Amino acid sequence: MAPIRTAPIVENAVMRLKQVRHGLMCYFKKDRYVGGSYDQYGEYSLAEMTVLEALVEPGDVVLDIGANIGACTIPLAHKVGHSGKVFCWEPQRIVHQMLNANLMLNQISNTHSFLQGAGEKQDRLFVPLVDYGNDGNFGAISLQPDTGTEAVMVAPIDDLKLSRCNLIKVDAEGMEKPVLTGARETIAQHRPFLHVENDREDRSEKLIAFLLDLDYDVYWHLNYLFNPDNFFGNHENVFGRLVAINLLCVPQERKVVTTGMFRAKSANSRWQEHVGPADELAPASVVIKT
């Protein structure tokens, strides 16, 4: 078997292009986590992606809120296939341009990308000033109500009037609850699986309470950013024990079997109740029972 090429195919002062696990990917050279993971390992948060892929099948409709450069968008677009659709939102203009470049590089035609945010109501927010040529975490940029350099429109998911929706993935840097509030009708009509970032302790209780009130079973989905079996075969762990903190939310009428996840039975549930500082995370998985 030929060795995997880890050198860039193309690069400039700001970006690199490499062949990675799910195809071709442009990424920011100085991005600490998403770009850094593609650069070192040829993948990003594969453990999270594996769970998301298990929730959908060909022909499904997926919403990716906070798509960044397409780390989840691209494999999900492959999974739902030509008969399915992916709608994705990315409010940072430069990041959105790179997202679209990655969709084109991978010949993906079943995806619609929006240069806007999703929220509770129609609004206009602002994107803070970001220098993508300097070190930073470009996936952690939050929209601001009255400061920033560029305005971006925000609209509720319900405005799309979707005829089908099977999965909503939300990584909205603290805006997860407003995003889902703006999707109440979509969630009530289609009862999709929800996969929601929940790494802000000051907002966790209200977010979990909201999800439980939707008649969903809520599970903590935790995974390390480093995958020892990564695409480039790089065994150096530059992320240490850094954990991605998400919630997998399953409609109560659906039957699934989960492993490596922990049930959030009340709004004040905390993931630290299940995993101590020295504990190792077991690989998480989900199987849908028909």
pLDDT one-digit tens code per residue, 154-164: 999 999 999 99
pLDDT digits (tens, 9 = 90+) for 251-261: 999 999 999 99
Distances (CA, A) of 157 to 96, 216, 228, 290: 18, 19, 37, 28
pLDDT in tens, 270-280: 999 888 777 88
Q: What pLDDT score was predicted for residue 128?
A: 86
Q: What mean pLDDT comes out for the span 125-133? A: 89
What pLDDT does residue 4 have?
A: 67
DSSP 83-151: TSEEEEE---HHHHHHHHHHHHHTT--SEEEESSEE-SSSEEEEEPP--TTSSB-GGGPPPBSS-SSEE
Say which residue, 4 or 31, is predicted with more confidence.
31
Mean pLDDT of 82-111: 97
Beta bridge mates, 61: 85
Kindly list the structural domains of the chain, giving each domain's residue range(s) and its CATH number in brackets, ordered by start.
Answer: 45-289 (3.40.50.150)
pLDDT at 266 over 70: yes
Per DSSP, helices labelled H in 146-233 are: 176-181, 184-190, 201-213
Percent pLDDT > 90 in the chain is 84
What is this structure's pTM?
A: 0.96
Mean pLDDT for 179-185 is: 98
Residues 203-239: tens digit of each pLDDT: 999 999 999 999 999 999 999 999 999 999 999 999 9
Mean pLDDT, residues 113-130 taken together:
94
Closest CA to 60 of 40, 81, 41: 81
